[in-house]
Amino acid sequence: MTALYPEQERVTRLLQDLTIDEKLSLCAGQGLWQTKPVTRLGIKPFKLTDGPRGVGFHSSGKRCTAFPSGIAQAATWDEDLMARFGQALGQECRAVGGRTILGPAINITRTPLNGRTFEYLSEDPYLNSRLVVPIVKGVQEQSVAACIKHFAVNNQETNRMRISSEVSERALQEIYLPAFRAAVEQGDAWSVMASYNSINGVPACQNADLLQRRLRGEWGFRGFVVSDWFAVRGTTSSAACIKGGLSLEMPGKGSRYRYKNLKARYEQGQFSEAELDDNLRGLLTAMVLTGHMDSCGPPGQRNSIEHQALAREMAEAGMTLLKNDGALLPLDPTRIRKVAVMGPKLKRRNCLPLWGGSAGVWPPYEITPWQGLQQENRGRFQWVSDPAQADAVLLFVGLSHRPGLDSEVMDRKRLELPEKQEKLIRDTVATNANTIVVLINGSPIAMPWIDEVPAILECWYPGMEGGAAIARTLFGDCNPAGKLPVTFPRVLADSPAHASQRTFPGDRHTVHYDEELLVGYRHFDKLGIEPLFPFGHGLSYTQFEYRDVQLGGVSFYPEDTLSVSLTVINTGDVAGAEVVQLYIAEQQPNDVRPPQSLKGFKKIWLAPGEAKSLALELPLVQLNIFYPQHDAWRPKPGAYTVRLGSSSRDIRLEANFSIVVAT
Ligand code: BGC
């Protein structure tokens, strides 16, 4: 029989050569960041390093490039950029001897209070899927396994080690699993991290339904499943983990997979060698694919000029202009000379070891906003500290990676900024009406002060080159084109997961995902709630006009593709990028279905006055919905509307079509 993948013959041989003791010893780690060697067969320790925005100091002992955090990456809506980021991430990992990078992190933003929202990408499964695939491919092109995490339904930090996410099959299929599935089916991810929590009562690390049936069985995963660090503590037995499909327990010698323990269970017949082999096959596969078995592969690079330039390019691409009344931004040196610069985030660094948790990266330098302003000024503005003496004010506020804010282990307590900062905003704008609020944060915040402030720039956690990117954006040297990958609610109670204690954070053991499919904008749309800023929102220093929508190619399911064409014109004076978003609305959604869902997008760059025609191809199969009663994805016949817009609430063009299912 010819193996589907050429490396499988070698893996099969390795499995024949390994003794049972050697196999058992490969199931747990050696220290924090690597597996045990099998010297007899030349298998060296296989290294894993954090994380999703660069290689962590804590896992490598090296200072590496700090890229913008996950939510900033997603705000770019740029797949090509994500491919280049993935390559750079892979190169940084190789340069420290790593063969697996513990990222990207792709859990759905179910609540804005999740302490790890800054690490994750989006509330939308489609955007999440489109962005994760190029990252995974980019990483793996460098002979490094991407480890997509945290599988699965790990959407809060409160009680993360013991909580069970109670979620319906429909929500799993349509909201929580698609990005993992895309990363495996389209990205061929070589590794998956099983999360701390349980899913419908079964711990992720022994969840055969997820790890065996879906991941390996249905999606064709060929890599290894590693536990989140210490996640097996929540499991019921070693045999359950083996049978559940967990390949590797991390860190250290392990507990369930501690050699002696595992050997005793094996000898008692609690699991078979074949079951063990099924799990180890994936680990050996990754060792072969990354060149680990032959000590070969690209040398990698870290902190290179290229990576730093990429970090800046990504930071710029993620800048999201939320509000800009009277075109106050970019700062115009012919009207504005004296600028007051102030606020608690002006001189603050955000990239420090373990700062924010495991996603923390310690770069060799970090350009703070203050340094960026000086570096990029080129004599245009005069900095002052008193807002009363200035033509405009740049006020730097936001959150930080302090526990309880944008940080692992705990969730945020409130949606607002700290009270002191809210007061500072109000006092400053009362003194100087030209106050621009510059936000450094990684999750949505409420803005009860919004009506008083004319301009707001969301910078996220923009990484080591962030200060330069921020300054260039404020000065108009680059034109912001970021779009929100999450909804910003006005108040926490508007947010779908916050109906009650039951839905967030749950009791100590259970949290109920009662909102079902109505996560993020789906909920705001369904209930007709006005968000503070809608999903997909982001302004530019120029304007775009949308024209001439045309639909083609709609006929019968399932072969068909819907082609949507339109023309976009840059009607302003400066070059800029626009993310054209395509939402599909069912004309008569039933009670549980969202009014519209993102099903396509395209980012385009236009010179002033330039018009571009573009076509978005939408395979109709993407419009299938999950029918729990049939346990299957199927088309839903009926009338639909294609909605094209600049955000989920700024729809510029519409066209109707029907899905007719051939009988
Ligand atoms: C985190 C993972 C991380 C691991 C290793 C855990 O606490 O949840 O995302 O990769 O630690 O640092």
- Whether the full predicted model's pTM is greater than 0.85, yes or no, is yes
Give ligand 1 pocket residues (Cβ under 6 A).
50-51, 102, 149, 228-229, 358
Query: Which residue has the CA at smallest separation from atom 8 of ligand 1?
Result: 228
Give the mean model confidence (pLDDT) for residues 267-294. Answer: 98
Distance 228 CA to ligand 1 centre (A): 6
* Cis upstream peptide for 485 (omega within 30°): no
Atom 7 of ligand 1: nearest residue by CA position: 229
CA distance 35 to 379: 54
Distance from residue 410's CA to the centre of ligand 1 (Å): 14
**345-378 confidence digits (pLDDT tens):** 999 999 999 999 999 999 999 999 999 999 999 9
Q: What is the pLDDT of residue 1?
A: 40
C-beta of residue 288 within 8 angstroms of C-beta of residue 257: no
* Average pLDDT for 475-482: 98
Q: Give the atom of ligand 1 at the shortest distance from the alpha carbon of 195.
A: 8
DSSP letter for 418, please: P
Rama region for 409: left / alpha / beta (φ>0; ψ in -120 to 50; rest): left
The predicted structure's pLDDT at residue 85: 99
In what helix (H) or strand (E) does residue 24 lie, and over which residues does it extend?
helix 20-25
pLDDT for residue 557: 55
**101-129 tens-digit pLDDT:** 999 999 999 999 999 999 999 999 999 99
How far is the centre of ligand 1, averaged over its atoms, from the C-alpha of 229 (Å)? 6
The residues, any chain, with a CB within 8 Å of residue 648's CB and separated by 6 or more, are 521, 525, 534, 535, 536, 537, 581, 583, 596, 598
Q: In which region does residue 210 sit, left (phi positive, over 0), alpha (psi from -120 to 50) or beta (all else)?
A: alpha
CA distance 494 to 444: 13
Tally: H helices and E strands in the chain = 16, 24
Taking the C-alpha atoms of residue 409 and residue 636, their distance in angstroms, rounded to an integer, is: 41
Q: 53, 118, 158, 358: which to mutate for ligand 1, most atoms within 8 A of CB?
A: 358
Shortest-distance atom of ligand 1 to CA 59: 12
pLDDT value for 560: 81
Residue 465 carries which side chain, given as an amino acid letter?
E
Write phi, then psi, for 426 (nearest 5 degrees): -65, -40
- Whether the pLDDT of residue 655 is over 70: the answer is yes
Assigned token pair, 233: 């503590």
Q: Helical H runs in 350-439?
A: 369-377, 419-431
Q: What are phi and psi of 640, to 5 degrees?
A: -130, 160
- The C-alpha atoms of residue 618 and residue 624 are separated, in whole angstroms, by 12
pLDDT of residue 561: 87
* 517-568 per-position pLDDT tens digit: 999 999 999 999 999 999 999 999 999 999 999 998 665 555 688 999 999 9
> What digits encode the pLDDT tens for the residues 305-319?
999 999 999 999 999
Tell me, what's the pLDDT at 5? 81
- Whether 294 is catalytic is no
Ligand 1 center from residue 74 Cα (angstroms):
20
Distance between Cα 303 and ligand 1 center (Å) = 23
Is 555 or 253 the better-scoring residue by pLDDT?
253
Average pLDDT over residues 400-416: 98
Triad 553, 556, 558: Cα angle to 5° = 100
d(CA 66, CA 649): 33
* H-type alpha helices, 186-297: 208, 238-244, 259-267, 273-289
Our CA angle for 549, 551, 552, nearest 5°, is: 145
Ligand 1 mutation pick, 106, 118, 229, 233, max ligand atoms within 8 A of CB? 229
- Choosing from 78, 228, 406, 411, the catalytic residue is 228
Q: How confident is the model at residue 2 (pLDDT cuts 50, 70, 90)?
A: very low
Question: Any bridge partners for residue 35, and if so which?
Answer: 29
Residue located via tokens 């993102």: 598
Give 315-361 as a DSSP string.
Answer: HHHH-EEEEEGGG-PSP-TTT--EEEEESTTSS-----TTTTSTT--
Query: Is the model's pLDDT at 22 over the cut of 80?
Result: yes
Q: What is the mean pLDDT of the chain?
A: 96
